[in-house]
C-alpha cells in the first residue's frame, strides 16, 4: 500500500484530519531542508510536500515565488530534490512525500528517468501544477507502474465534467485549490469550499486535501470540518525566508506546525 493511502486511512480510524505542509527544497539554503522535514514530522505533520524549485513558478503568490528564487540562488534542482528524499528515507520510512512543482524540470530529465528515480528515492506522489489530466497521460502511466501516485488539482472553477475526469485519473488524494488565485492569497471563502467539496465527493472516493489560503490554526480548523485535511504552504515558506538563524527558523517552523496540529486535533 502506498504511504499516502496508509497514512490517511490511519488518521481516519483515529477520526483525525491530515496536516500536509509545503516547503521548497533548498530554501533558503540547501543544508536546511532535510532538517526542516524531520522537524515538521516531529511537530505532527502527516504528509510532506516538497517544492521543486523552478525559474517560472506561475501559480505561486509572492511568498512562495521568493522561496523558489532563494533556492535557485544555490542551483537546487530536481535531481537534488530526489537526493533529498533518498536521504530522508534513511531514517524515516513511513511519512508520505509528495513532490510539487512544474512540468519543465521533469520534461528535461525525461519522464521515464524521472519515474525510475522518484520511485527509487521513495517519493509517494507527484503534483505538477501545469500538467493537467489532458497532458499527463504518459507520465501518469510511468508513475503508476512504479507505485507513485499522480495528484491532481481541482479548483472552484472546475466543472462537474472535469471533476469526474480528474477523479478517474487521480491517485493519493485530490488537492482542492480553495480559491481563485495564487498560493498564499487571503480571500478564502469557507462556504464555497464546503459546497464544492460535496460535489467532488459525489465523483471521487479519494481523500480531499484543501490548500491555498490556509495560513493559521483558525483557517485550518475551519476548512478541515469539510475536508480530509489541509495543506499549509506560504505561512511556512514565509518562516523559511525570514532571514533568521537556521536554529531559529527550525524553531519557528516547529511552533507554527504544532499550532496547526493542535487546532486540527481539537475540532
CB of 78 to another protein, least distance (A): 6
Q: How is residue 37 written as a grid cell?
A: 522535514
Q: Is 71 near another protein (CB under 8 A)?
A: no
Measured from the CB atom, is 3 or 101 closer to another protein?
101
| Distances in whole angstroms, Cα of residue 55 to Cα of each of 32, 74, 146, 205 | 20, 12, 28, 35
Q: Is 30 near another protein (CB under 8 A)?
A: no
Separation of alpha carbons 99 and 33, rounded Å: 13
CB of 52 to another protein, least distance (A): 10
Measured from the CB atom, is 41 or 99 closer to another protein?
99
Q: How is residue 25 written as a grid cell?
A: 527544497
Separation of alpha carbons 102 and 59, rounded Å: 9
The residues in 223-252 that bind another protein, with binding defined as CB under 8 A, are none
* From 34, 72, 87, 199, residue interacting with another protein (rule: CB under 8 A): 72
* From 26, 28, 67, 105, residue interacting with another protein (rule: CB under 8 A): 105
**Binding characters for another protein, 109-128, by CB under 8 A (x = yes):** x-------------------
* From 98, 143, 182, 239, residue interacting with another protein (rule: CB under 8 A): 182
Q: Is 79 near another protein (CB under 8 A)?
A: yes
Measured from the CB atom, is 75 or 94 closer to another protein?
75
* From 45, 115, 148, 152, residue interacting with another protein (rule: CB under 8 A): 152
Closest by Cα among 138, 212, 200, 198 to 166: 200
* From 6, 42, 58, 137, residue interacting with another protein (rule: CB under 8 A): 58
Measured from the CB atom, is 54 or 88 closer to another protein?
54
Separation of alpha carbons 210 and 232, rounded Å: 9
Q: Using CB under 8 A as the criterion, which residues of the chain lie in contact with another protein when the complex forms? A: 53-62, 65, 69, 72, 75, 77-79, 102-109, 129-132, 134-135, 152-159, 162, 166, 177, 180-182, 185
Amino acid at each position: 500500500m502506498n504511504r499516502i493511502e496508509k497514512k490517511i486511512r490511519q488518521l481516519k480510524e483515529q477520526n483525525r484530519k491530515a496536516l500536509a505542509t509545503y516547503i521548497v527544497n533548498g530554501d533558503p539554503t540547501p543544508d536546511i531542508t532535510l532538517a526542516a522535514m524531520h522537524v515538521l514530522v516531529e511537530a505532527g505533520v502527516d504528509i510532506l510536500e516538497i517544492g521543486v524549485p523552478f525559474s517560472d513558478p506561475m501559480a505561486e503568490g509572492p511568498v512562495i515565488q521568493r522561496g523558489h528564487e532563494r533556492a535557485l540562488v544555490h542551483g537546487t534542482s530536481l535531481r537534488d530534490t530526489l537526493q533529498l528524499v533518498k536521504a530522508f528515507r534513511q531514517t524515516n520510512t513511513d511519512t508520505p512525500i509528495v513532490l510539487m512543482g512544474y512540468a519543465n524540470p521533469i520534461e528535461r530529465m525525461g519522464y521515464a528517468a524521472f519515474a525510475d528515480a522518484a520511485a527509487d528515492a521513495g517519493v509517494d506522489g507527484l503534483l505538477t501544477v501545469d500538467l493537467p489530466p489532458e497532458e499527463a497521460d504518459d507520465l501518469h502511466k510511468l508513475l503508476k507502474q512504479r507505485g507513485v501516485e499522480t495528484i491532481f488539482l481541482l479548483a472552484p472553477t472546475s466543472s462537474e465534467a472535469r471533476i469526474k475526469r480528474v477523479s478517474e485519473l487521480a491517485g493519493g488524494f485530490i488537492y482542492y485549490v480553495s480559491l481563485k488565485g495564487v498560493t498564499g492569497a487571503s480571500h478564502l471563502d469557507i462556504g464555497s469550499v464546503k459546497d464544492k467539496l460535496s460535489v467532488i465527493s459525489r465523483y471521487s472516493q479519494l481523500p480531499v486535501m484543501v490548500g491555498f489560503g490556509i495560513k493559521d490554526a483558525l483557517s485550518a480548523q475551519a476548512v478541515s470540518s469539510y475536508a480530509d485535511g489541509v495543506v499549509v504552504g506560504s505561512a511556512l515558506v514565509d518562516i523559511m525566508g525570514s532571514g533568521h538563524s537556521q536554529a531559529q527558523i527550525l524553531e519557528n517552523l516547529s511552533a507554527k506546525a504544532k499550532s496547526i496540529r493542535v487546532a486540527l486535533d481539537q475540532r
